[in-house]
Amino acid sequence: DRLKQIHESISDLEKQRRPQRITRPYIDYRANLHVHSAFSHDSRGKIEEIVAAAKLAGTDILMFNEHPADHYDFYVDGHRGVRDGVLLIPGAEMKGFLVFPRMSMKAFSGAEKQELSNIVRLRDGLTFVSHLEERMDWQIQGVTGCEIYNTHADFKTEKRLLSSMKNPLWLIQAKAMFDRYPQESLSALLDYPSDYLQRWDTLCQIHPHTGVSANDAHQNVGLVVRWVDNKVRLEDALGEKLLEMDSAVYAAVQKIPKDVVDGQELLRIQLDPYACSLRHVGTHLLMKDLTEESVWEALNSGRAFVAFDWLANAKGFDFALWKQDQRHEMGSQVRWEQGAEFRAVAPHPVQWRLIRNGTLIHESEGETFQTIPESDGNYRIEAWLTIASEERIWILSNPIYIAK
């Protein structure tokens, strides 16, 4: 019932969408960072299906972070170029970073964390601190930025669901729910990433850090039931055997066809299909055009915001500082002066929350937001939506840095 309420609330919200006029010199391109394909040991995703899923999710840019291995070079062999209108950029998940280098990293696989980041950055690459929940050494010098939300980290906090998922019979019985509400089944678990944001706000007071979202998309969470040697075999989403079940026990919850043949797939449950994983959250980049150079420029500049687009399409959001008719984008570093004004707009009425140096200082409601900064500091804005009577975080902007 709860998933149905969420689904209907989101559908109603979309009908009320009212795009606002935005005067900015950039186009909003939606990116997914931290995507895995079959190059990684824990994914079987083919590039054709990932690109197709990206188009369904409204994604313009796929930035891959494969697990490096001896049998391939993620930079040389990885996914690159424009495919069916989607820009592909190769990268890796290495030593706790999302790295997007400008050269092969094969020779540097033994580098320590700070050294690895330095090597990538000094050669015009990008590095983002990843999985902040797993590490104490998150204050790495010279990085491009950090994850401010990670789907896998969010998922790990759902202890009750994780416990239920260990019971194959529960999964089989829950299949109808997953089939009916695939996006809500994955995304309704969303929690406000307070720990990530607290660390990010701390880092931004030391040096600007571009905040990005991490889809951590693998399409590897699920269950396959197969008929093998007159028995019911349960496999994980990667095809690895989990256990064998008595056919009578299985038949009590799911009918077995009379004409079943050896090797036949009886049932498949996929909790994290690429389309749902990629739609769940995205990093929106403000760029001139859809090129790798423009991606680099936007991420280095902090001209980006994170949005949970499964709730609503975030294209149409804007946040900037205006000084004497001059516009300053997210990521800008400017001097404080009298008369400056923050302005934000969204295509839906939202709850606006303005954050300065990690502290909430101003709240308002509506489709537009305006306020005057009274002092220096790092200012970012959050937009919240009311979905099925519950407030949910929708948009997290990057900061605008105001100095004395």
pLDDT of residue 90: 99
What is the percent of the chain where pLDDT is above 90?
78
Spell out the domains of the chain, with CATH numbers in brackets: 2-219+274-403 (3.20.20.140), 222-270 (no CATH)
| φ, ψ at 256 (rounded to 5°) | -100, 125
> Per-residue DSSP letters for 72-109?
B-HHHHS--EEETTEEEE--EEETTEEEE-SS--GGGT
**What are residue 129's DSSP bridge partners?**
97, 146
The identity of residue 190, as a single letter, is L
pLDDT of residue 159: 66
pLDDT of residue 156: 73
pLDDT of residue 219: 92
Strand 359-371 versus strand 400-403 pairing type = unpaired
pLDDT of residue 166: 66
pLDDT of residue 161: 66
CA distance 267 to 344: 47
Q: Residue 357 CA to chain centroid, in angstroms? A: 23
**Is residue 339 predicted with pLDDT exceeding 90?**
no
| φ, ψ at 257 (rounded to 5°) | -60, 145
274 contacts 38 by C-beta, under 8 angstroms: no
Task: Enter the tokens of residue 324.
Answer: 């004497």
Query: 400: closest CA among 348, 323, 293?
Result: 323
Please tell me the least confidently modeled range out of 157-161, 267-271, 291-295: 157-161
Predicted confidence band of residue 173 (pLDDT cuts 50, 70, 90): confident
CA distance 15 to 25: 28
Say how many C-beta atoms besides its own lie within 10 A of residue 192's C-beta.
15
| φ, ψ at 195 (rounded to 5°) | -65, -45
pLDDT of residue 165: 64
Please tell me the least confidently modeled range out of 112-126, 232-246, 358-372: 232-246
Query: 54: closest CA among 242, 294, 367, 274?
Result: 274
Q: Which residue has the tokens 């049998």?
A: 71
**What are residue 353's DSSP bridge partners?**
363, 382
Say how many C-beta atoms besides its own lie within 10 A of residue 30's C-beta.
21
Eight-class DSSP state of 289:
S
**130-155 average pLDDT score:** 88
**Is residue 150 predicted with pLDDT exceeding 90?**
yes
3-class SS of residue 339: coil
Predicted confidence band of residue 295 (pLDDT cuts 50, 70, 90): very high
Helix segments in 269-367, DSSP class H: 274-280, 292-301
Q: Rounded to a whole number, what is the largest CA-CA distance in the chain? A: 79
The residue with greater pLDDT, 15 or 133, is: 15
143 contacts 209 by C-beta, under 8 angstroms: yes
**Is residue 309 predicted with pLDDT exceeding 90?**
yes
**Is residue 43 predicted with pLDDT exceeding 80?**
yes
How do residues 100-135 score in pLDDT, each as one tens digit?
999 999 999 899 999 999 999 999 999 999 998 877
**285-313 average pLDDT score:** 99
**Is residue 175 predicted with pLDDT exceeding 90?**
no
55 contacts 84 by C-beta, under 8 angstroms: yes
Predicted confidence band of residue 371 (pLDDT cuts 50, 70, 90): very high
How do residues 62-77 score in pLDDT, each as one tens digit?
999 999 999 999 999 9
How do residues 241-261 score in pLDDT, each as one tens digit?
988 988 888 888 889 999 999
pLDDT of residue 224: 86
Say how many C-beta atoms besides its own lie within 10 A of residue 81's C-beta.
10
| φ, ψ at 273 (rounded to 5°) | -55, 145
From residue 255, alpha-carbon distances to 172, 188, 250, 251, 252 in Å are 11, 30, 8, 5, 7
CA distance 340 to 329: 13
